[in-house]
Amino acid sequence: MNGLAGPASPGGGPAEPDDLVAIVRRRAARTPENVAFSFMDFAADRAGRARAVDYETLDERARAIAATLRRTCAPGDRVAVTCPHGPGYVEAWLGCLYAGCVAVPLPGPERPGQAVRLRGVLADCAPSRVLTTTGVRADVEAALDGAPGAALDAVLCVDRVPTEAAADWSDPPRSPGDLAFLQYTSGSTREPVGVCVSHANLIANVRQIERQSEMDDRSVVVSWLPFFHDMGLISGIVLPLGVGAHAVLFTPMAFLQEPRRWLRLISDYRGTWTAGPDFAFELCVRRIAPDRRRDLDLSSLTGMTDGSEQVRSDGIGAFLDAFVPCGLDPVAVSPGYGLAEATLGVTSADRGAVIRAFDRAELTAGRARPAAPGGRPARELVSCGPPLPEVSVLIVDPDTGAELPPGRIGEVCASGPNITEGYWGRPDLTRAVFADSLAGRPGRWLRTGDMGFLRDGELYVTGRRKELVVVDGRNHAPADVESTVERAHAAIRPGGVAAFAVETADGEGLGVAVELRGGRLDEPVGVVADAVNAVLAAEHGLRAEELVFLRPGRLPRTTSGKIRRAECRTRFAAGGLDPLDSAVIAAVAADGMATDGMVTDGAADGAR
């Protein structure tokens, strides 16, 4: 049913190499009327107005854009895609592949604060053309202004490309190792760099996810994730095309404005598979009141991946409590682990969310031992599941590269056909992150920089190596500390805490930056600080050497909304976090300036 296999070679030999272009072309020839995507427009109609795109139309538009590109671009040239989230984005991205060019998916220029990022990426990859749409052309040109080597005549509006141009298209030669696209990372620990994803990587990861999730051409995928992000691109565009599923898509902003739309579309379209970052599950619980859940029917879901950021046990539990009464099968909620350097997925739970409690003191010493009931403070961790088919996961000592036994915490490393070749124009970084063998095992290995351990063949992630806070020889994971601080006082904004290392006279200590939520602050700031240090002492044996309070949205974040802890530390050391004094704090609370949603420097961020 999946239609992924390429045509058999003459004489009944093995299937020919396949790629996404060949798959879409076959679907357009065999089932041209089948709907590939339904785009929901909530801007034009609050209830959502659907626009369906079938395979025949999608193929024709991709050929038209590709033929137009080939007039000025050669195979292998980079082509940036910076369109609004909609049909034009999908057509433009796919058109790059049809032309044999290397697509560079980027956020739309109308997104607040994106001009600087766009200029940086364009300077890094030097695209031959920039694809956008007429409505945002002026924004693109403004972003291009000042970008090294950029020319305004390089901008092509895909909505102005006549469909008749498709007749001029010819399929350029492609090999599995050719680059399909550059995925620029969100940059949670460093400046964004372009990951080189080949056609072979792309199809390998589609097949892996397809097999693990048992998707086929009867599946219905529902997604609001941004197309420029690896999770949104693969789960919203590539995976549905690869398996022939019907994808129901809408914009990140429409989700942030009303999270119920996500679950409403699953209910209405009988969605079978979806994915989202951990914050989205928590947002649904907070923003969908019990009386607005009653008419939701989530019984059609067989897979609901929770990934893109560390999965929190309390968030998973609250989501299941809220929506199992809506018919949601608890086994459908599947935490997973992945990253752009692996195309997308590395592991995924196949039996629902498994949550285990581990002795927190042992975790800080590098050992994963189950917590004793009623014993020392524990940390609940959510399993990210076993490796996807054809993927191997090793836990190694980050300093020596030696393999560690199950239950020991080390660096998570992965190998498989989905592991990419490295970073665009960064040979030194590529050599540092990728290896042709590891711990005596051959193969292309990715050193993820994430710390974790294996238990019963499943991966548990504890945090980023570079972000660990080392106090008295023990490794404290910032995510664990942040989760504790969030629960310390009602004035602290969920998702608005950053923990990082600071220098003290006695060595490394803990710094914490806290965004305050809306509502009235009835107690002095000192009371909130005391509550934070009391819970840190009780659960971690720590105290915050530095504790600062911020306005909502002041913590630096990536384009996908993850807190940039390293930048928090740098800004704090330079006095650039702009902490509030007690008078300002009281005014912020009284005026209700806090927002409930994802913000980056005060502006809504559609990825996280």
Fold of 252-465: Rossmann fold (3.40.50)
Question: In the predicted model, is pLDDT for residue 275 greater than 70?
Answer: yes
Q: Which band of pLDDT confidence, cut at 50, 70 and 90, is reported for residue 8? A: very low
Contact 514, 546 (CB under 8 A): no
Q: Determine what percent of the chain is predicted with pLDDT higher than 90.
A: 58
Residue ranges of the domains in the chain?
252-465, 468-604
More confident residue, 231 or 578: 231
Q: Which band of pLDDT confidence, cut at 50, 70 and 90, is reported for residue 341? A: very high
Residue 535's pLDDT is 87
> Using one digit for the tens of pLDDT, what is the confidence trace for 583-603?
555 555 544 333 333 222 222
Q: How far apart are CA 170 and CA 350, in angstroms?
A: 42
Number of Cβ within a 10 Å radius of residue 16: 11
Residue 150's pLDDT is 53
Residues 6 or more apart from 455 whose CB is under 8 A from it? 356, 368, 383, 406, 407
What are the structure tokens assigned to 266, written together? 């699953």
This prediction has a pTM of: 0.83
> Using one digit for the tens of pLDDT, what is the confidence trace for 513-523?
888 876 456 67
Residue 468's pLDDT is 75
Q: Which band of pLDDT confidence, cut at 50, 70 and 90, is reported for residue 487? A: confident
More confident residue, 109 or 357: 357
More confident residue, 341 or 516: 341
Which of 117-121, 222-226, 394-398, 512-516 shows the lowest mean pLDDT across its residues? Answer: 117-121
Question: In the predicted model, is pLDDT for residue 3 greater than 60?
Answer: no
Q: Which band of pLDDT confidence, cut at 50, 70 and 90, is reported for residue 432? A: very high
Q: In 3D, which of 179, 170, 22 has the Cα closest to residue 101?
A: 179
Angle between helices 478-486 and 525-540 (to 10 degrees): 130
What are the structure tokens assigned to 527, written together? 């009371």
Contact 492, 486 (CB under 8 A): yes
Concatenating the DSSP letter of every residue in 253-320 gives HHHHH-THHHHHHHHHHT--EEEEEHHHHHHHHHHS-GGGTTT---TT-SEEEEESSPPPHHHHHHHH
More confident residue, 557 or 384: 384
Average pLDDT over residues 139-165: 79
> Using one digit for the tens of pLDDT, what is the confidence trace for 195-217?
999 999 999 999 999 999 899 99
Question: In the predicted model, is pLDDT for residue 189 greater than 90?
Answer: no
CA 164 to chain centre: 36
Contact 516, 505 (CB under 8 A): no
> Using one digit for the tens of pLDDT, what is the confidence trace for 10-46?
333 334 448 999 999 999 999 999 999 999 998 877 7
Q: How many helices (H) and strands (E) does the chain have?
A: 18, 28
Q: Under CATH, which architecture does the 468-604 domain have? A: 2-Layer Sandwich (3.30)
Pairing of β 345-348 and β 194-198: unpaired
Q: Determine what percent of the chain is predicted with pLDDT higher than 70.
A: 87
**Mean of pLDDT over the chain:** 85
Q: Which band of pLDDT confidence, cut at 50, 70 and 90, is reported for residue 259? A: very high
Which amino acid is residue 271, in one-letter code?
G
> Using one digit for the tens of pLDDT, what is the confidence trace for 74-126?
999 999 999 999 999 999 999 999 999 999 999 876 665 566 677 778 888 98
